[in-house]
Structure 1
Amino acid sequence: MGHTLDRIMQHADEIRAEGAVGDTLMRLPDNSAKRLRESGVIRMFQPKEYGGQEAHPREFAETVMAIGKLDGATGWVAGIVGVHPWELTFFDARAQEEIWGEDGDMWMASPYAPMGVAVPVDGGYVLNGRWAFSSGTDHCGWIMIGAAVGDKDGNRTDQVLHVLLPRSDYDIDPDSWDVIGLRGTGSKDLIVTDAFIPDYRTIDADIVLSGNGWRHAGRDETLYKFPFSYIFPLGITSSLIGMTEGALACYIAAQKERVQVTGVPIKEDPYVLFAISEAAAEIESARVTLLETVDRFWDKTDRGDEISFEERAVGRRTQISSAWRAVRAMDEIFARAGGAAVHRKTPMQRFWRDAHVGLTHAIHVPGMIYHSAALTQLGGDPQGAYRAMI
């Protein structure tokens, strides 16, 4: 992590400043993308044979948090795009060579939601559909997206694939991303029309979601045995916690010399001082609990022990609660930041907007995960949708 994070921090001031540019462009600025590429953060989960680091997930999480603390959108793109090399490792070797063979820094965008239909044909599938929320997609040369397998009439079946397409096989809708937060992520819509996908550029989603990707691919590294249900959300939640750390840093910097309308300096207001400590402790607790689960899962995986459904459910509960905990803490200090914090020229309001939009991502919805974690601990056996993403 050291070298990757060091390379990022060399450009910390520029990444902070370009956050405002990305907020206006509604995509990651070219310079920010260039710095991410040069830092190696997107190669942290990439296999070593293609120039990757095969890094510990904790190192990845801490690096993404640090980037999110500089700029929320840049951290978000690093966290999402950075997970895709982990899954590509499970695809056919021909697909890996096609994407990384000539350019080890090739980026892939998503999403995994099966918003389109892939109809079987000789040698592969023909894909059609429209996918929303493709973060960082303007800077990616490939996409890794979910697709429902269609029957001969094009109707959806229950089988879901993850498929790979080069930039020449899809369009990006430039007008599909106009939002209140995470604007700089450029999470635009993708449109695919009658694209042929050879079999080797597909993988059954169940292989990945079940945690058997490493067996399918014949890998034995600890990194690739790690549960998908914790790897995939990790980059997203890490970037979100980084955003709240960025908001806290902005708040503290702004309050040092601030005098309230009552004439009382902030440094002499015991209520504000309490709020600062309370928020800082909550954000730090969110960070630590997320990373503790990563370390525990890694150690258990490295020993060759299985991580049970209950452990995974509780781990997902911890990941979700960390996100909500950090955002609630950020809200407490934003509400005490004074009128200056709402000006668009100040970065604190952007962290606040970005974090709240980040909390709306599907992996941060607590309902079914909390239900499943509690039910399992009570001796129950969640089924169907209640086992999804665990």
Structure 2
Amino acid sequence: MGHVLDRIMQHADEIRTEGVEGDKLMRLTDTTAKHLRESGIIRTFQPKEYGGFEGHPREAAETVMALGALDGATGWVAGIVGVHPWELAFFDPKAQEEIWGADNDMWMASPYAPMGVAVPVEGGYILNGRWAFSSGTDHCGWIMIGAAVGDKDGNRTDKVLHVVLPRSDYEIDQDSWNVIGLRGTGSKDLIIKDAFIPEHRTLDAEIVLSGNGWRHAGRDETLYKFPFSYIFPLGITSALIGMTEGALACYIAAQKERVQVTGVPIKEDPYILFAISEAASEISASRLALLETVDRFWDKTDRGEEISFEERAIGRRTQISAAWRAVRAMDEVFARAGGAAVHLKTPMQRFWRDAHVGLTHAIHVPGMIYHSAALTQLGGEPQGAYRAMI
């Protein structure tokens, strides 16, 4: 896996520069996508039989953090698109062959939210709907999305599928992404009209969410036994922490020779020096907390032990708090960066915008997760929505 990061860092300056253009285009540039593809980062969690690395989630997280510190949108797309090969490993082998057989660098976009309805027909389903927030979708040849199963009248039922479709079966609404941050992710809407999905391109979402994907697929590698509820948010939060590291690096570089309007150099202002150290410590703590949980979950999974609901809930709490802590720390230095930081020509403002938008993702909402983690530790049993994504 180390060679993936090495390949990325060979193009670090170009990825930074392309990030400015991606922010204008509202998608990753073709050059950045090419560098990501050639680095192999999207094959991190891909099965070895299709050219994947079956890599350690810690290494994946560290690589996405490094990318996020170069350009937030690039890190975000790598983190999200990079988790889809992990789930495709649980699909029918026929679906895996359709997607990876001719090109093991084929990318898949999402989202998993069941925004459309799949009505059963002979041999599969007919799918209709509109899905928002399909990050990196312009550079993907397939999608892996959530769909509610419909009854014969097309009304939603409680059953949810994850399904894969080729680019010919859906439309990307190119005008649907015009936002203040993470613009370069190109997280556009997908429109699907009467697409037929054969049975082998579907997977019961509960199989994956319950942690039984590896049993369903007959896999015994540690990677595929890893909890979905931690591996799915990992890339997103890693990218976010990378953005705050990128913002901090920009801030420090800009402050080295800065003299304030009071005439006091930053290097001689004890209050600023304190704020820098505190922010840097908080961002570092966020990084380490996220990675410590990954290592502990991996080691336990590798020993063949199951990670309990309580451990998963605390792990999610740790992941969410890491994201919020890092962004709050970034805000402390941004507020002390001076007027120059607000100019669009400086990279710091883009990290700041990207990180704040990244914090709005559903996996960073603390309410129910914090509730469930605390309740479980107190001997309670969270129910219904309070068990979701844990």
TM-score by length of 1: 1.00
Instruction: Give the equivalent residue in structure 2 for 1:297.
Output: 297
Identity %: 88
What value does the CA root-mean-square deviation take over the aligned residues?
0.3
Question: For 1:19 and 1:31, how far apart are their aligned partners in 2?
Answer: 10
Instruction: Give the equivalent residue in structure 1 for 2:218.
Output: 218
Say if 2:22 is the partner of 1:38. Answer: no
Paired residues for 1:90-239 under 5 Å = 90-239=90-239
Match of 1:262, SS state, is: coil
Instruction: Give the equivalent residue in structure 1 for 2:2.
Output: 2
User: What residue identity is the alignment partner of 2:91?
Assistant: F
Match of 1:145, SS state, is: strand
Instruction: Give the equivalent residue in structure 1 for 2:388.
Output: 388
User: Structure 1 residue 192: deviation in Å?
Assistant: 0.2
Deviations 1:266-294 (A, max 9, x none): 00000000000000000000000000000
Question: For 2:18 and 2:348, how far apart are their aligned partners in 1?
Answer: 14
User: Structure 1 residue 146: deviation in Å?
Assistant: 0.1
Instruction: Give the equivalent residue in structure 2 for 1:356.
Output: 356
Match of 1:336, SS state, is: coil
Match of 1:53, SS state, is: coil
User: Structure 1 residue 2: deviation in Å?
Assistant: 1.1
Instruction: Give the equivalent residue in structure 2 for 1:315.
Output: 315
User: Structure 1 residue 183: deviation in Å?
Assistant: 0.1
Instruction: Give the equivalent residue in structure 2 for 1:17.
Output: 17
Question: For 1:192 and 1:20, how far apart are their aligned partners in 2?
Answer: 31
Question: For 1:264 and 1:159, how far apart are their aligned partners in 2?
Answer: 63
Instruction: Give the equivalent residue in structure 2 for 1:367.
Output: 367
User: What residue identity is the alignment partner of 1:21?
Assistant: E
Paired residues for 1:321-360 under 5 Å = 321-360=321-360
User: Structure 1 residue 207: deviation in Å?
Assistant: 0.2
Unpaired runs of at least 5, structure 1:
none
Deviations 1:304-351 (A, max 9, x none): 001000000000000000000000000000000000000000000000
Paired residues for 1:274-289 under 5 Å = 274-289=274-289
User: Structure 1 residue 149: deviation in Å?
Assistant: 0.2
Question: For 2:252 and 2:117, how far apart are their aligned partners in 1?
Answer: 50
Question: For 2:35 and 2:285, how far apart are their aligned partners in 1?
Answer: 30
Which ranges of 4 or more aligned residues in structure 1 deviate by more than 3 Å? none
Question: For 2:301 and 2:264, how far apart are their aligned partners in 1?
Answer: 54
Question: For 2:71 and 2:279, how far apart are their aligned partners in 1?
Answer: 20
TM-score by length of 2: 1.00
User: What residue identity is the alignment partner of 1:81?
Assistant: V
Question: For 2:67 and 2:331, how far apart are their aligned partners in 1?
Answer: 21
Match of 1:193, SS state, is: strand
User: What residue identity is the alignment partner of 2:268?
Assistant: E
Deviations 1:122-168 (A, max 9, x none): 00000000000000000000000000000000000000000000000
Question: For 2:50 and 2:92, how far apart are their aligned partners in 1?
Answer: 14
Question: For 1:272 and 1:247, how far apart are their aligned partners in 2?
Answer: 16
Question: For 1:2 and 1:48, how far apart are their aligned partners in 2?
Answer: 17
Question: For 1:63 and 1:325, how far apart are their aligned partners in 2?
Answer: 20
Question: For 1:371 and 1:337, how far apart are their aligned partners in 2?
Answer: 36
User: What residue identity is the alignment partner of 1:310?
Assistant: E
Instruction: Give the equivalent residue in structure 2 for 1:88.
Output: 88
User: What residue identity is the alignment partner of 2:299?
Assistant: D
Question: For 1:253 and 1:42, how far apart are their aligned partners in 2?
Answer: 31
Instruction: Give the equivalent residue in structure 1 for 2:378.
Output: 378
Match of 2:238, SS state, is: helix
Match of 2:283, SS state, is: helix
Match of 1:114, SS state, is: coil
Question: For 2:338 and 2:347, how far apart are their aligned partners in 1?
Answer: 14
Question: For 2:278 and 2:351, how far apart are their aligned partners in 1?
Answer: 19
Question: For 2:288 and 2:272, how far apart are their aligned partners in 1?
Answer: 24
User: What residue identity is the alignment partner of 1:180?
Assistant: I
User: Structure 1 residue 230: deviation in Å?
Assistant: 0.1
